[in-house]
Amino acid sequence: MTTTKKNLRPLLLDVAVPLASYYLLKEAFGMSTFAALAWSSVVPAVRTLWSVVRERTVNGLAGLILVVNLVSLALSFVSGDPRLMLAKDGAVSSTVGIGILVSVALGKPMMTAAFKPFVVKGDAAREAAWQRLIAGSAAFRRGERAFSLVWGSVLLAECVARVVGAYTVPVDTMVWLGTVLTVVTFGLGFLVSGGLAVEPMRRMLAAEVESARAAEAEATQAAAARPEVAVAA
């Protein structure tokens, strides 16, 4: 398996597959929301259980998607009040946001799995540099935490905005305003996390790669010069 595939596999299995299967089952096969949510929870449930049994750790992304699905399943029984129906959409954002913030508090920022593959880009030198920086650079680790903190915070803010809007804004307005909130949330998340975390981490990563290459070139030159010194002696 290539490095790129290895880096992307957790993101694909834990996030893309459950989300894609939900929409496929609901839209293409006409399943109810409840049934689609239930079946799309199978992969994250198996992944979470497997990590607990085999690796004795909790698979953060898979566990979070499973919790989100379970919350959505519970809320699928909520009906009647249109404002409550609008407000419950914020529950998913809050669940994800809280999960991300808790992962930061536990020292295992969950969003790292989402952006690391796009920074490392499947390059072995970048992967090695990432591991060295995570182990030895406090600034790099702060950037890693900042990325997750930004996304956890904006998702919680979206939840608050949805709940407030559901009970203060006309229902017809809130129906389309919910989409606007989602677009603004993701735009703000990408903008802020990019400035606070992604770009500084990319610069540190590039500098570390160049430093490693320079050290390797210097070691190679030193090794090449040793035989000449021995002959001269």
Tens digits of residue pLDDT in 204-220: 999 999 998 888 888 88
Which ranges of 29-111 does DSSP label H, i.e. alpha helix?
33-40, 42-50, 60-75, 82-87, 89-105
Look at residue 133 in the predicted model and tell me its pLDDT.
95
Look at residue 178 in the predicted model and tell me its pLDDT.
77
Same-domain status, 7 and 93: no
120 CB neighbour count, 10 Å cutoff: 20
Per-residue pLDDT of the chain (233 residues; tens, 9 = 90+): 454 455 455 556 656 666 677 768 777 778 776 677 677 777 767 766 776 666 566 556 666 666 766 766 676 666 556 677 677 767 777 878 888 899 899 888 988 877 888 888 888 899 999 999 999 999 999 999 999 999 999 989 988 998 899 889 887 888 788 778 878 888 899 899 999 999 999 999 999 999 988 888 888 887 777 665 554 55
Same-domain status, 121 and 232: yes
Same-domain status, 165 and 232: yes
Predicted TM-score (pTM) of the model is: 0.69
Question: How far is the C-alpha of 92 from the C-alpha of 70, rounded, in Å?
Answer: 10
Which residue, of 55, 77, 99, is where some domain finishes? 77
For residue 207 the two structure tokens come to 């500098």
Same-domain status, 135 and 46: no
Domain membership of residue 229 as a residue range: 80-233
Same-domain status, 70 and 90: no
Question: How far is the C-alpha of 78 from the C-alpha of 222, rounded, in Å?
Answer: 72
How many domains are there within the chain? 2
